[in-house]
Amino acid sequence: MANQHLLKPAAASLAITTLKGVGPQIESRLARLGIRTVQDVLFHLPLRYQDRTRFSPMGGLTAGSDVLVTGVIELSGVRMGRRRSLVSVISDNTGTITMRQFRFTATQQRALVRGGLIQCFGEVRQGPTGLEMVHPEYRLLHSESEATTEQTLTAVYPTTDGVGQRKWRDMIGQALPRCATEIEELLPKGVDVPGMEISLADALTLLHCPPVGTDPLLLMQGSHPARQRLAFEEMLSHHIAIRQRRSHRDRLCAPLMPPSTRLWPQLCEQLHFPLTSAQVRVVEEVFSDLGGTVPTMRLVQGDVGSGKTVVAAAAVLAAVEAGCQAVVMAPTELLARQHFDSFEIWLKELGIDAVWLTSRAAAATRRQACQRLASGEVQVGIGTHALFQDDVHYHNLGLVVVDEQHRFGVEQRLALRDKGRSDNRAPHQLVMTATPIPRSLAMVMYADMDVSVIDEMPPGRQPVETVVIPNSRRQAVQERIRESCARGMRAYWVCPLIDESELLDLEAVTQRAESLRQDLPELKIELLHGRNTPAEKDVVMNGFRSGQVDLLVATTVIEVGVDVPEASLMVIENAERLGLAQLHQLRGRVGRGDRKSACVLMYQAPLGDRAKARLSTMRETNDGFEIAQKDLELRGPGELLGTRQSGLPQFRIADLTRDHMLLESVRDVAAQLLDNGETKLIDRLIRRWLRTEDGFYSA
């Protein structure tokens, strides 16, 4: 992400090619990292640091450490073995170490002679004959006085092919003295957070060139005040930008939708289940929003199976009763179909028509649906991203409901909203997610939304028992499926993605289905995957719902949108390949009725530490918010919410997992700047850190 206006205008516009040694080839490589100006180089912070500020005596070296040593070459020569290598034994007055090079030139071989002086930096490893360094950085010396140490810790930068660490250090060495004095201070004085006593220029200088005595662990963990000072400013700019987006929305008008007093009560009477108190509370919050003239933007969070669809139905009925159209958009055809089936049953009893619209719809069906939406003949549209294509028009769109909203690009959501926008008018928006979002994320990422949480499960639901076992116990799992299905229950067997190839994924799940058919011949087993046509999916799912299919073997296509209360057993093969959020979603496909249900997580040994932590969390809790918090700790916010897919802001320096203690101050300072009308300062702050050309912050 390229920063704009970090420095005063003259310096901010300096192209990266104004640095010596940066020609067109290096320029194009740096562009892959979003680095186009001199200021971008300054904000490209190190990943880690090396200590070259002192020499280490060879007699005290241990494997696994990065060290700087100097000594005399005792012997050097080519050694033949499994791989030909150039081996040089170096000594000081405390011990020896071997330098090994597998790639070397004749010139290097001639230069490394007995009695020569040498200085090396690299990682110490345990070799076949003792401690050694493999391909260290080294230089030959003419005298002992030429052996030098660095004055600061040495930064190691994230990079791209063709740009080495020496090039980064050279560019930073040019950029810091050239631009440090021109960096503009934007934060108000008196902000009480770590690092505020450090100027922005000093913070950047320290992070690129930490002086001797600086704790490298503090720097790498992100807890050093200099790094926190930058993280705070970056988080502040994001938070203010989202608050501004909300302020802009609040100036628009939306159609007035009083609480449904006719259709919603009728629907409640025909439901075969009572609403939970959490559902009742959230419906009231939604009705309160829709009853105003400011466009609603409410996020409804509810764990898997908590009943978000009924809340969406209440909002849709309020829109219809007010004479407006409503659309419900889902990210997959399977989930959209699930919504359509539910809504069709509910709306039909109320005399309301709904149309189904997806990209795979037949041309005639699609044309008819579009005509009915454009004329206002039908008031409810349900489908996928096809709902906002250019040829789809609405007569009076007043409400947009988006399910699993983080799976849509921001441009997609805005395109659907704009279908109902004219002049100063915009539709209400209700977005739903079954991925619980930790409070620390919601505070920053969703500052432009009101948030409702359905924190209660329907009565009669029993917690799903989760067991974790190795793949080697597959036969025992299959026997459990046989016993479960013999008692009239149904089961899922999920094969996660084994490769980035959909073809290999399909091959794996097909082979598993065939092997299960051979091992469990008395069961009716069907297969479901991403390449099934909609008609094929309908046939398979209808058979599974009706009990004609005992075991459904599937890819993670069933993660959302599959609701079969009779299914009581979920087997997830190679569960260690999946993240916590996805495992929780899959587990939510069972336990949807009143039967005791189980989820079996099968793994391939050995497990890494992170995989162990994920599977252990799944075994210990069914609480979606606790799982989301653990997921945040393990993976970070970008992966958790699918940052690139959703258009949510990406942080360059801040880490919400690490820097959550700054959030309260971020909110306070943001409110201070906005209340004081610091328009120019806010504009410079946002331009320093954010990309505004993608439309996210101007929405």
Residues 470, 400 share a domain: no
The whole-angstrom separation of Cα 553 and Cα 550 is: 10
Note the Cα 695 to chain centre separation in Å.
Answer: 20
Packing angle between helix 225-250 and helix 663-675, nearest 10 degrees?
50
Q: Which residues contact 72 (CB under 8 A, 6 or more apart)?
A: 90, 91, 92, 115, 116, 117, 118
Q: Is 276 helix (H, G, I), strand (E, B) or coil?
A: coil
Residues 345, 474 share a domain: no
| Residue 39 within a domain | no
| Residue 318 within a domain | yes
Residues 440, 471 share a domain: no
Residue scoring higher pLDDT (325 or 581):
325
| Residue 246 within a domain | no
Banded model confidence at residue 193, pLDDT cuts 50, 70, 90? confident
Banded model confidence at residue 699, pLDDT cuts 50, 70, 90? very low
**Lowest model confidence (mean pLDDT) among 373-382, 397-406, 461-470, 677-686:** 397-406
Strand 380-383 vs strand 428-433: parallel, antiparallel, or unpaired? unpaired
| Residue 331 within a domain | yes
In the prediction, which pLDDT does 69 show?
Answer: 96
Residues 412, 469 share a domain: no
Banded model confidence at residue 411, pLDDT cuts 50, 70, 90? low
Q: pLDDT (tens digit, 9 = 90+) per residue, 273-293?
A: 889 999 999 999 999 999 998
The whole-angstrom separation of Cα 120 and Cα 292 is: 71
CA-closest candidate to residue 552, choices 516, 577, 501, 521: 516
Structure-token match 């809790």, residue found: 621
User: Is the pLDDT assigned to residue 262 strictly greater than 90?
Assistant: yes
Banded model confidence at residue 497, pLDDT cuts 50, 70, 90? low
In the prediction, which pLDDT does 509 show?
Answer: 82
CA-closest candidate to residue 355, choices 324, 380, 390: 380
Banded model confidence at residue 408, pLDDT cuts 50, 70, 90? low
- Report whether 153 contacts 215 (CB < 8 A): no
The 10 Å CB-count burial string (b at 16+, else e) for 302-321 is bbbbbbbbbbbbbbbbbbbb
Q: What is the largest CA-CA distance in the chain?
A: 97
Domain range for 139 is 54-146
Planar angle of CA 369, 434, 313, nearest 5 degrees: 45
Residues 419, 487 share a domain: no
Question: Which amino acid is it at 108?
Answer: Q
CB half-sphere exposure, 150, CA atoms < 13 A: 20
Decide: pTM greater than 0.85: no
Domain boundary among 395, 426, 454: 454
The whole-angstrom separation of Cα 401 and Cα 378 is: 16
Rg (CA), the chain: 31
The 10 Å CB-count burial string (b at 16+, else e) for 192-222 is ebbbbebebbebbbbbbbbeeebebeebeeb
Which residues, listed in sequence order, are joined to residue 86 by a DSSP beta bridge?
A: 78, 101
- Report whether 182 contacts 153 (CB < 8 A): no
Return the structure tokens found at 214.
């600086």
In the prediction, which pLDDT does 37 show?
Answer: 85
In the prediction, which pLDDT does 635 show?
Answer: 62
- Mean of the per-residue pLDDT values of the chain: 85
Banded model confidence at residue 696, pLDDT cuts 50, 70, 90? very low
Residue scoring higher pLDDT (243 or 26):
26
Residues 315, 360 share a domain: yes
CA-closest candidate to residue 52, choices 35, 40, 66: 66
CATH number at residue 296: 3.40.50.300
| Residue 666 within a domain | no
Residues 486, 348 share a domain: no
497: burial class by Cβ within 10 Å (0-12, 13-18, 19+)? middle
Number of domains in the chain: 3
Domain boundary among 454, 485, 506: 454
User: Is the pLDDT assigned to residue 443 strictly greater than 80?
Assistant: no
- Report whether 326 contacts 361 (CB < 8 A): no
| Residue 185 within a domain | no
Return the structure tokens found at 248.
């802009």
Q: Which residues contact 166 (CB under 8 A, 6 or more apart)?
A: none
Residues 427, 278 share a domain: yes
Query: Is the C-alpha dihedral spanning 55, 58, 62, 64 positive or negative?
Result: positive
Domain boundary among 605, 621, 637: 621
Question: Which amino acid is it at 433?
Answer: T
Question: Which amino acid is it at 217?
Answer: L
Return the structure tokens found at 3.
């920063």
Residues 419, 286 share a domain: yes
Q: Which secondary-structure segment (H or E) carries 70?
A: strand 66-79
Question: What are the two backbone dihedrals, phi and then psi, of residue 603, each rounded to the nearest 5 degrees?
Answer: -130, 160
3-state secondary structure 480-499: HHHHHHHCCCEEEEECCCCC
- Report whether 545 contacts 564 (CB < 8 A): yes
Average pLDDT over residues 660-675: 87
In the prediction, which pLDDT does 695 show?
Answer: 43
Packing angle between helix 200-208 and helix 165-179, nearest 10 degrees?
160
CATH number at residue 87: 2.40.50.140
| Residue 438 within a domain | yes
Residues 444, 492 share a domain: no
Residues 342, 380 share a domain: yes
Helices of type H across 602-678: 609-620, 624-635, 637-641, 643-646, 663-675
Residues 367, 292 share a domain: yes
DSSP string, 508-574: HHHHHHHHHHHH-TTS-EEEE-TTS-HHHHHHHHHHHHHTS-SEEEE-GGGSSS---TTEEEEEETT
| Residue 551 within a domain | yes
Q: pLDDT (tens digit, 9 = 90+) per residue, 366-384?
A: 999 999 999 999 999 999 8
As a whole number of Å, the end-to-end CA separation of the chain is: 19
Banded model confidence at residue 534, pLDDT cuts 50, 70, 90? confident
The whole-angstrom separation of Cα 93 and Cα 72 is: 10
User: Is the pLDDT assigned to residue 613 strictly greater than 60?
Assistant: yes
Average pLDDT over residues 12-26: 88
- Report whether 394 contacts 373 (CB < 8 A): yes
The whole-angstrom separation of Cα 105 and Cα 71 is: 22
